[in-house]
Amino acid sequence: MTTTSPQRILFAEPPPLDRYRIPERFAGCTYMLYPLPDLAQLYLMSYLEGRGHEVDLINAVLERFSRDEFLRRVADWHPDVVVLHSVILAKPTDLAVLPLLLECAPKARIFFHGPEPTRVPEEYLRAIPPQISEGRVLVFRGEPERHVADYLATGEPIGASYVRNGEICETPHSEQFVDLDNLPFTHHRHPAVQRHKRALFNPKFSVRPVATILASRGCRWRCAFCVPNSVSFARELEYVRCHPGEKPPAVFASPARVIAEFREIAEAGYRAVMVMDDQFLGGRSRTKEICDGLRSLDLQWGCLSRSDYLVDEEIVRLLSAAGCVTIDIGVETFSQPILDAIHKDLKVETIYRSISLLRRYGIEPKINIMFGTCPLEQEENICHTVDTLLDLDVHHVMFTVATPFKGTPFYEQACREGFLVDEDDAINPFRKSIVSYPHLSRERLNRLVDQAYRRFYLRPSQVWWRLRHARSLRSLLSDAWLALRLVTRR
């Protein structure tokens, strides 16, 4: 059915089934430690608003709505379409709420998108109650913007899975990815987003509220274990259907587009920005142009980066001058043989160099470490990594157990070689190992994560550093709360 008139489109995040374990939907692979906007929804929201549709957002997590209140708000808005972005940890919540949404909004269609609906669309479509008419639920696989907009305009379900005549059908993805330079970002000023912004913080920044942006999609690197952000992961999972063993091309917004969105964020009343790209720093000239454009905006910001992009002193100096105060680095281990085995394509020397340069220019490095990334790793390697961190001038480290996420090469290897011991979707990289090696059991991996957190964060020098650098009583309490959640995660 062709739809040419503007639609009322409601973007929704339902309340979680367990309020103590809230799925983090944008990173897509862990439970929420602090509020993080779901950019997969927000950019699609801006895109459809730019096509003339009326859009709104209900976030039951930030609003602290009960399920009944959430459903009442949905019904009161009288949507034509309800859009849910789903990831593996949110799947039980979304499958449980689907029949209720169909009932409370009887004229609405339900659209799913995200990595988990892309990987297993049939699980979402089989959750449709039998009395519901066909065509009311669609799964848009891979990158959704173009295909959702085109479906609303023409009724043609490209890149979608749906039920017809009692059977699950699907159409191929066009592989026409959205042009990031023409992707709107009006959501930063949308009243529904503005309503939530006071709840948005990030302990890496001394100010709030904190906005988030995504300035690229995809990653050209080949790390076997990697689960990119949910937008890029959905894109990869769909692409590999027709291109086995390949990844879709990584695309980057131009410096002008990045600077324009930063400026929009500043004008919308935010004071800090976290760039959520899996690898924000592209070519050297691009990074320099972005830094030049951000200097005058008076925003704190941070990003994610490989260490080998941070060994150029001029680049690090420019990042600092442009307001960058924190960078997440995926280190994983300080063992070169293990870095090679997991296809990190990284030299351990660059880690030391990058940390030294960041500290020199006042940028706080946050180090991400994973235990159990491959059968080659021994407990001695893990102890060496932790010992190394204790000797470095770093104050923010996150330890996780390596998790073979379904759809990654690591998962295929774990299944093939028999060290995957838990197929449950309720994964938890902070504490729950689902791999077990003959020389390094899952129980031992879990204990090693516990011990690493305690060894690193409960040292007198770390406690004293946090007390000296507390910006306010509120920030001190926030840091203490976050540390408690990490140290007592189980």
Domain boundary (149, 170, 191) is at: 170
Digit-coded pLDDT (tens) for 38-79: 999 999 999 999 999 999 999 999 999 999 999 999 999 999
**Inside any domain, residue 2:** no
Q: Who has greater pLDDT, 351 or 33? A: 351
**Inside any domain, residue 327:** yes
**Inside any domain, residue 242:** yes
Give 111's strand partners: 83, 138
Q: What is the mean pLDDT of residues 465-488?
A: 64
Count of the separate structural domains present in the chain: 2
> Residue 91 and residue 101: Cα distance in Å, rounded?
15
Q: Which two tokens stand for residue 279?
A: 């690898």
Tell whether 209 and 308 lie within a shared domain: yes
Q: What is the mean pLDDT of residues 399-428?
A: 91
Burial 279-311 (b: 16+ CB within 10 A, else e): bbbbeeebbbbbbebbeebebbbbbbbbbbbbb
Confidence at 431, pLDDT banded by 50, 70, 90: confident
Which DSSP helix (H) or strand (E) runs through 368?
Answer: strand 364-371
Digit-coded pLDDT (tens) for 136-189: 999 999 999 999 999 999 999 999 999 999 999 999 999 989 999 999 999 999
Tell whether 80 and 192 lie within a shared domain: no
> Residue 366 and residue 136: Cα distance in Å, rounded?
44
Tell whether 151 and 191 lie within a shared domain: no
pLDDT surpassing 90 at residue 283: no
Domain boundary (170, 189, 214) is at: 170
Confidence at 476, pLDDT banded by 50, 70, 90: low
Question: DSSP code of 111?
Answer: E
Tell whether 73 and 187 lie within a shared domain: no
Tell whether 251 and 229 lie within a shared domain: yes
**Inside any domain, residue 195:** yes
**Inside any domain, residue 25:** yes
**Inside any domain, residue 3:** no
> Residue 390 and residue 455: Cα distance in Å, rounded?
8
**Inside any domain, residue 175:** no
Tell whether 159 and 227 lie within a shared domain: no
- The CATH number given to whatever domain includes residue 393 is 3.80.30.20
- The CATH number given to whatever domain includes residue 96 is 3.40.50.2300
Tell whether 78 and 162 lie within a shared domain: yes
Q: What is the mean pLDDT of residues 367-377?
A: 95
Tell whether 269 and 393 lie within a shared domain: yes
Tell whether 424 and 448 lie within a shared domain: yes
Tell whether 317 and 445 lie within a shared domain: yes
Tell whether 110 and 132 lie within a shared domain: yes
Tell whether 62 and 80 lie within a shared domain: yes
> Residue 427 and residue 471: Cα distance in Å, rounded?
34
Domain boundary (131, 151, 170) is at: 170
The model carries a pTM of 0.94
**Inside any domain, residue 352:** yes
List the domain range (segments joined by +) for residue 151.
8-170
Q: What is the pLDDT of residue 349?
A: 98
Could you give the angle at which helices 284-294 and 313-321 cross, rounded to 10 degrees?
A: 20
